[in-house]
Amino acid sequence: SQQGEEDPQALSIQEGENATMNCSYKTSINNLQWYRQNSGRGLVHLILIRSNEREKHSGRLRVTLDTSKKSSSLLITASRAADTASYFCATDEAQKLVFGQGTRLTINP
Amino acid sequence: EAEVAQSPRYKITEKSQAVAFWCDPISGHATLYWYRQILGQGPELLVQFQDESVVDDSQLPKDRFSAERLKGVDSTLKIQPAELGDSAMYLCASSLQTRGTEAFFGQGTRLTVV
C-alpha cells in the first residue's frame, strides 16, 4: 500500500533554479520524512518533520507540512547537477514506514 | 560511519529456483525493514521487524516469500520458488525505533529472474 503520493512524477529544471515537490497522504501521521535516491542505490534520509511542526530547514532544503490538507512540500533552492535523483516522501502509517511513488528530478547544466 | 550491509549486491537466478538475501542492520537498531522496489516506483514494504518480532508482513507473498530475524540482529529474506515478476531491487533498512526516527538503507540487492 502507498500512503504518500508525490507530485509531479517528473521534474526537469535548469541548474540554479529552485525545485518544488509535493506529497499528499491519506491518514493521520506523527511525522513525515523525505528521502533521496540516486539511480540504482539505496535511499538516503534528508529531513523529518513532526506533525506539530509547520516548516523545517536543512541547508538548501525547506520542508513544509500542512496536516489540515494532509500535504507536504520539499523545496530545493539553487539546484545543482548533483541534486539529480528521485525524491520520496514517507509517512508512519500504523507503525509502518510507507513510501510514495516519488518524483524524478533532473537538473540540466 | 555505521552502515546497513546487504549481500549479494546482484543476483541472477532462474525461474523456480530458491534465492536468499541477507541484511545486517546498524548495531543497536531495533527496527528492520525489507522493501521491494520495481524500477520507476517507490519502495513497497514487505516486512517490518521490531527486534525479532514481525510488526507487519501484510504485503509479503507468504506462499513464496519468508523472512526471519533470529536473535533480533541480522535478517534473511528468502524467495522459493522465484518467479519472473520477482525481478526487482530488494532494499533493507534499519532504524533505532519504529516511530519518529530516520531509516538507514543498505545499497540493495538487484534480483533478476530469468
pLDDT at B112 over 80: yes
Q: In chain A, which residues have their Cβ closer than 8 Å to the Cβ of B101? A: 48
pLDDT in tens, B34-77: 999 999 999 999 999 999 999 999 999 999 999 999 888 999 99
Kindly identify which residue of chain A lies nearest to residue B95, measuring between CA atoms.
Answer: A97
**Cβ atoms of residues A59 and A3 within 8 Å:** no
Work out the pLDDT band at A93, boundaries 50, 70, 90: confident
pLDDT value of residue B79: 98
Query: Residue B87 is placed in which grid cell?
Result: 525481478
In whole angstroms, how far apart are CA A84 and each of A17, A29, A105, B32, B55? Answer: 13, 28, 5, 28, 34
Size of interface A-B (CB pairs under 8 A): 68
Kindly identify which residue of chain A lies nearest to residue B107, measuring between CA atoms.
Answer: A42
Q: In chain A, which residues have their Cβ closer than 8 Å to the Cβ of B4? A: 42
pLDDT value of residue B90: 98
Say yes or no: A10 contacts chain B, CB-CB below 8 A: no
B-contacting residues in A 14-33 (Cβ below 8 Å): 30-31, 33
pLDDT in tens, A1-43: 456 788 899 999 999 999 999 999 998 889 999 999 998 889 9
Give the minimum alpha-carbon distance from A100 to chain B in angstroms, rounded to a whole number.
6
Q: Tell me the C-alpha distance between B33 and A31, whole Å.
A: 18
Determine, for residues B103 and A1 on separate chains, whether the beta-carbon distance falls below 8 Å. no
Of residues B86, B88, B69, B87, the one with CA closest to residue B77: B69
**Cβ atoms of residues A49 and A63 within 8 Å:** yes
* Cell 540482529 belongs to residue: B73
pLDDT value of residue B71: 87
pLDDT at B99 over 80: no
Give the closest of A30, A45, A99 to B43, CB-based.
A99
Say yes or no: A98 contacts chain B, CB-CB below 8 A: yes
CA geometry: angle B71, A42, A6, nearest 5 deg: 115
Tell how many helices (H) and how many strands (E) occur in chain B.
0, 11
pLDDT value of residue A9: 93
Give the closest of A40, A43, A96 to B105, CB-based.
A43
Cβ-Cβ contacts under 8 Å for A54 (sequence gap 6 or more): A64, A65, A66
pLDDT at A77 over 80: yes
Q: Tell me the C-alpha distance between A18 and B30, whole Å.
A: 37
pLDDT in tens, B5-22: 999 999 999 999 999 999
Give the minimum alpha-carbon distance from B60 to chain A in angstroms, rounded to a whole number.
11
pLDDT value of residue A2: 54
pLDDT at A79 over 90: yes
B56 burial type by CB count under 10 A (0-12 exposed, 13-18 middle, 19+ buried): buried
pLDDT at A64 over 90: yes
**Cβ atoms of residues B5 and B104 within 8 Å:** no
Average pLDDT for A56-77:
97
pLDDT value of residue B21: 98
Work out the pLDDT band at B98, boundaries 50, 70, 90: confident
Q: Tell me the C-alpha distance between B89 and B107, whole Å.
A: 9
Average pLDDT for A49-54:
95
